[in-house]
Amino acid sequence: MRIVIAEDNVLLSAGLELLLSTRGHEVVEVAGDAEAFSGALERHRPDLAIVDVRLPPRFRDEGIHAAIEARRRYEGLPVLVLSQYVERDYAGELLADGRGGVGYLLKDRVGRVGEFVDALRRVADGGTVMDPEVVRQLLAERARDPLEALTRREREVLALMAEGLGNGEIAERIVVTENAVHKHIGNIFAKLGLAPTDTGHRRVRAVLAYLERR
């Protein structure tokens, strides 16, 4: 894959570049701020972008807004956002378009090389990946919202969906059959009002339902 990185921390960006190159990927440019990131996308049209939530000059939300704008401008561009802390609002903004090909991970996940590389692959393939800690906080925050209709097992399945796992992987994780997972997901879609005729990415919309109910 050809990858553009938007990260102002030189040590982290150098580490990412080395890690990705050893895995057969090409980092075509490292941008230190949102403006440079926009230019890099125009020049290289990469297969995937990795973006820090907070970029110069204010170090607030420049990165997340640059990522959202990139997905508007280059439809289908897979984007993996990295954050130092759990920023629930930012995760919601990233998923708001209801499409796949997005990820939101805490930076310490980069050190778990296998998990990080797997997340990159999922995002590049059009999946949705959310850091387990983000999912945990969202689930805890919504203990008394309309999603109470979900059973404990359905909530567990939805949390794993949010992490980007496929049906087979979920089945292995919770030790049930893939057919059972399929039924749980069908129940989740039904309880969240996601009809089979919905042309959107229903797995993404199911995760987004957590983020919208604040």
- Residue range 76-96, pLDDT digits in tens: 899 999 988 766 666 667 776
Q: Which residue has the higher pLDDT, 166 or 195?
A: 166
Please report whether residue 57 resides in a domain: yes
Range(s) of the domain holding residue 167: 142-212
What pLDDT was estimated at residue 45?
96
Identify whether residues 96 and 150 lie together within a single domain.
no
Q: Tell me what the mean pLDDT of segment 101-122 comes to.
A: 88
Candidates 86, 72, 94; CA nearest to 135 is: 86
Of 86, 111, 131, the position where a domain reaches its end is 131
- Same-domain status, 72 and 124: yes
Asked if residue 196 and residue 93 are part of one domain, the reply reads no
Residue 32: Cβ within 10 Å count: 17
Look at residues 42, 119, 36 and name the one whose alpha carbon lies nearest to residue 82. 119
β-partners of residue 29 are 4
Tokens 């049209």 belong to which residue?
45
Question: Residue 214: its pLDDT value, please?
Answer: 44
For position 150, which CATH number holds?
1.10.10.10
Number of domains observed in the structure of the chain:
2
Q: Compute the average pLDDT of residues 22-46.
A: 95
Confidence check: pLDDT of 194 > 80: no
The reported pTM is 0.67
Q: What is the mean pLDDT of the chain?
A: 85
Please state the separation of Cα 24 from the chain's center in Å.
Answer: 22
Domain ends where: 131, 157, 181? 131
* Higher pLDDT pick, 76 / 141: 76
Tens digits of per-residue pLDDT, 158-180? Answer: 888 888 888 999 999 999 999 99
Residue 200 has pLDDT above 80, yes or no: no
Predicted confidence (pLDDT) at residue 18 exceeds the cutoff of 80: yes
In this predicted structure, what is the pLDDT of residue 189?
86
User: Which of 128-137, 170-179, 190-199 has the least mean pLDDT?
Assistant: 190-199
